[in-house]
């Protein structure tokens, strides 16, 4: 199939404002892709016992507990302006002498609180460094414009691992090969949606044509802003960002760092051409110098 005949680009829009942190995406992904269970580790990181994306975790739900005087729970969806409650001060009583607290945050005025949940996944970058550096052709760009590791080709060299600006791709310990989300490449071929998006109880994970998803995402942010959720923002969808836009992008309610996402990722191979150019120039200069030296001696 040539690029021209390709179906439109497919991707995920993960709207974290409606995520209930149920982790259905993690399980549905593992069940479908037969990803191995990877150990019982109690991490004491809120309700996150998965930790991070890895060769054995292709969807990961992050949990962030924030004590912030936000006015009200910031997860309101689509409430038309003017309706519903205004900012809510829970006005909960506070206790203890200053300095007695052991929590990470200082006692906030009003004592309001929020618990952010967000399902992370491979971003399927427009400019994907993992793909660029793969020496075997195991990583390839599919007709859906997604980035997939072909398990029958991968030789486990691991070049892709440091290349990923998001730290997504990873080698599996037992076989050394690189594994990550395929956006359920096999299901896409049959017109099915990826397992995680299908399972998601609240449609926090939406699958579809990237163009349409981008539009939907922007509309959603507008609605949330209108509803007073000023912290809503999109992450990754911008085609002018460091990876030229991602196929899987997010609506976040805080800075990306809060969710463990890099604020301004850049495709690690972006500078390769200029590096080669510089190296070439340097080589030329060296060569010229050497030539000059020889030429000078002769003269």
Partner 1 sequence: MSVWTWLGSWPVLRQVTGEDRMGLGSAARSERSERLRPRTAEADRVVKSVCPYCAVGCGQNVYVRDEKVVQIEGDPDSPISRGRLCPKGSASLQLTTGPSRRDKVLYRPPHGTDWEELDLDTAMRMVADRVVRTREETWEEEYEGRRVARTLGIASLGGATLDNEENYLIKKLFTALGVIQVENQARVCHSSTVAGLGTSFGRGGATMFLQDLQNSDCIVIEGSNFAEAHPVGFQWVMEAKARGAVVIHVDPRFSRTSALADLHVPIRAGTDIAFLGAIINHVLTEEKYFHDYVLEYTNAATIVGEDFRDTEDLDGLFSGFSGEDRSYDVTSWSYDGTEVAAASGDRGQLYRSQGDPHPSTRHSGRPEQHGSGGAVIRNPPRVDRTLTDPRTVFQVLKRHYSRYTPELVEEVCGIPRDVFERVCEHLTSNSGPDRTSAFCYAVGWTQHTVGSQYIRTASILQLLLGNIGRPGGGIQALRGHASIQGSSDVPTLFDLLPGYLPMPHMQEEQDLEGYVKAAGEPLKGFWSNMDAYTVSLLKAWWGEHATVENDFLFDYLPRLSGSHSTYDTVMAQIDGVCKGYFLMGENPTVGSANSRAQRFGMAELDWLVVRDFSLIESATWWKDGPEIESGEMRTEDISTEVFFFPAAAHTEKSGTFTNTNRTLQWHDRAVQPSGDRRSDLWFMYHLGLLLRERLHGSEDPKDRPLLDLTWDYPMEEGDDPSAEAVLREINGHDAQGRPLSMYTQLRADGSTSCGCWIYCGVFKDGVNQAARKRPGREQDWIAAEWAWSWPDNRRVLYNRASADPEGHPWSERKALVWWDEESGRWSGYDVADFEPDKAPGYRPSDDARGVAALSGVDPFIMQADGKGWLYAPAGLNDGPMPTHYEPQDTPFTNPLYGHQRNPTRVLYPHELNRYHPAPDTPEASVFPYVVTTYRLTEHFTAGGMSRWTPYLSELQPEFFCEVGPELAAEEGLEHGGWATIVTARNAIEARVLVTDRMKPLRVQGRTVHQIGLPYHWGPNGYSTGDAANELMSISLDPNVHIQEVKALTAHIRPGRRPRGPERVALVEEYRDRARITERTGTED
Toward partner 1, which CB reaches closer, 193 or 237?
Answer: 193
Toward partner 1, which CB reaches closer, 34 or 264?
Answer: 34
Q: What minimum distance in Å lies between the beta carbon of 291 and partner 1? A: 35
Q: What minimum distance in Å lies between the beta carbon of 199 and partner 1? A: 5
| Neighbour tally for 192: CB within 10 Å | 14
Toward partner 1, which CB reaches closer, 40 or 297?
Answer: 40
Distances 87 to 71, 82, 108, 268 between C-alpha atoms, Å: 5, 12, 16, 43
Toward partner 1, which CB reaches closer, 189 or 289?
Answer: 189
Q: What minimum distance in Å lies between the beta carbon of 293 and partner 1? A: 39
Toward partner 1, which CB reaches closer, 14 or 142?
Answer: 142
- Measured over the CA atoms of residue 273, residue 278, residue 279 and residue 281, the dihedral's sign is positive
Toward partner 1, which CB reaches closer, 186 or 271?
Answer: 186
Q: What minimum distance in Å lies between the beta carbon of 185 and partner 1? A: 7
Q: What minimum distance in Å lies between the beta carbon of 67 and partner 1? A: 5
- Measured over the CA atoms of residue 220, residue 221, residue 224 and residue 225, the dihedral's sign is negative
Of residues 142, 143, 125, the one with CA closest to residue 12: 125
Q: What minimum distance in Å lies between the beta carbon of 276 and partner 1? A: 15
Which phi and psi (to 5°) does residue 209 adopt? -70, 130
Q: What minimum distance in Å lies between the beta carbon of 74 and partner 1? A: 10
| Angstrom distance (rounded) from CA 155 to CA 82 | 58
Q: How would you classify residue 137: left for phi > 0, otherwise alpha for psi between -120 and 50, otherwise beta?
A: left
Burial class of residue 239 in the structure, from the number of CB atoms within 10 Å of its CB (0-12 exposed, 13-18 middle, 19+ buried): exposed
| Angstrom distance (rounded) from CA 91 to CA 82 | 23
Toward partner 1, which CB reaches closer, 14 or 75?
Answer: 75
Distances 32 to 35, 141, 184 between C-alpha atoms, Å: 8, 21, 8
């Amino acid at each position: 199939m040539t690029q021209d005949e390709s179906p439109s680009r497919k991707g995920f829009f993960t709207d974290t404002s409606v995520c209930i942190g149920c982790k259905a995406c993690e399980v549905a992904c593992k069940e479908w892709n037969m990803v191995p269970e990877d150990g019982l580790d109690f991490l004491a990181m809120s309700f996150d016992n998965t930790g991070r994306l890895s060769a054995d975790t292709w969807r990961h739900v992050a949990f962030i507990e924030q004590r912030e005087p936000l006015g009200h729970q910031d997860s309101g969806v689509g409430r038309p302006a003017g309706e519903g409650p205004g900012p809510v001060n829970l006005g909960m009583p506070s206790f203890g002498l200053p300095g007695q607290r052991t929590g990470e945050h200082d006692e906030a005025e009003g004592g309001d609180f929020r618990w952010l949940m967000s399902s992370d996944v491979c971003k399927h970058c427009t400019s994907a460094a993992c793909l660029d550096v793969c020496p075997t052709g195991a990583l390839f760009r599919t007709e859906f414009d997604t980035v997939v590791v072909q398990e029958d080709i991968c030789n486990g060299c691991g070049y892709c691992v440091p290349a990923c600006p998001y730290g997504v791709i990873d080698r599996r310990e037992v076989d050394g090969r690189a594994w990550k989300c395929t956006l359920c490449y096999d299901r896409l071929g049959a017109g099915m949606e990826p397992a995680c998006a299908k399972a998601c109880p609240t449609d926090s994970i939406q699958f579809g044509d990237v163009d349409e998803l981008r539009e939907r995402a922007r509309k959603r942010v507008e609605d949330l802003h209108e509803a007073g959720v000023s912290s809503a923002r999109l992450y990754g969808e911008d085609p002018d960002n460091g990876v030229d836009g991602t196929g899987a992008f997010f609506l976040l309610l805080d800075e990306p760092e809060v969710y463990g996402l890099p604020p301004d990722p850049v495709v690690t191979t972006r500078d390769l051409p200029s590096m080669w150019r510089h190296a070439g120039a340097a080589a030329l200069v060296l060569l010229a110098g050497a030539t000059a030296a020889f030429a000078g001696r002769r003269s």
